[in-house]
Amino acid sequence: MTEKPRSSPESGWTAFGNRFEESSEKALFSARWLLAPFYFGLTAAIALLGAKFAQQFYSFARHIFSDDIKKVQLGLFGLLDLTLLGNLMIIMIFAGYENFVSKINAAEGSEDKPQWMGRVDYSGLKIKLIGSLVAISVIELLQDFVKLDHSAVSTGTKWRIFLHLTFVASGVLFALMDMIVSKRKLMDMQVKKEELKMYKDQN
Write down the pLDDT at residue 8. Answer: 55
Write down the pLDDT at residue 9. Answer: 55
The backbone torsions φ and ψ at residue 101, rounded to the nearest 5 degrees and listed phi first, read -120, -70
Average pLDDT over the chain, rounded to an integer: 81
Write down the pLDDT at residue 48. Answer: 95
Mean per-residue pLDDT, 105-126 = 77
Write down the pLDDT at residue 46. Answer: 94
Write down the pLDDT at residue 134. Answer: 83
CB contact at 8 A, 90 and 166? no
Integer CA distances (angstroms), 34 to 29, 39, 62, 101, 102, in order: 10, 10, 44, 9, 12
The residues, any chain, with a CB within 8 Å of residue 63's CB and separated by 6 or more, are 71, 75
Residue 80 identity: L
DSSP state of 114: -
- The percentage of the chain sitting over the pLDDT mark of 90, rounded to a whole number, equals 17
Per-residue exposure over 26-53, b if at least 16 CB sit within 10 Å of its own CB, e if not: eeeeeeeeeeeeebeebeeeeeebeeeb
Task: Tell whether the model's pLDDT for residue 45 goes beyond 80.
Answer: yes
108 CA to centre of own chain: 20
Instruction: Pick the closest to residue 93 from 32, 38, 150 (CA basis).
Output: 38
Higher pLDDT, 199 or 81: 81
Task: Tell whether the model's pLDDT for residue 199 goes beyond 80.
Answer: no
Instruction: Pick the closest to residue 42 from 100, 89, 82 (CA basis).
Output: 89
Mean per-residue pLDDT, 139-165 = 76
Write down the pLDDT at residue 58. Answer: 94
Confidence band of 61 (pLDDT split at 50, 70, 90):
very high
Q: Per-residue pLDDT tens for 4-39?
A: 555 555 566 787 778 888 888 889 888 989 999 999
Give the Cα separation of 30 and 22 in Å (integer): 12
Q: Which run of H or of E encompasses 193?
A: helix 155-202
Confidence band of 42 (pLDDT split at 50, 70, 90):
very high
User: Is this prediction's pTM over 0.85?
Assistant: no
Write down the pLDDT at residue 33. Answer: 92
Instruction: Pick the closest to residue 171 from 116, 132, 121 (CA basis).
Output: 132
Instruction: Determine how many CB atoms are found less than 10 A away from the CB of residue 175.
Output: 15
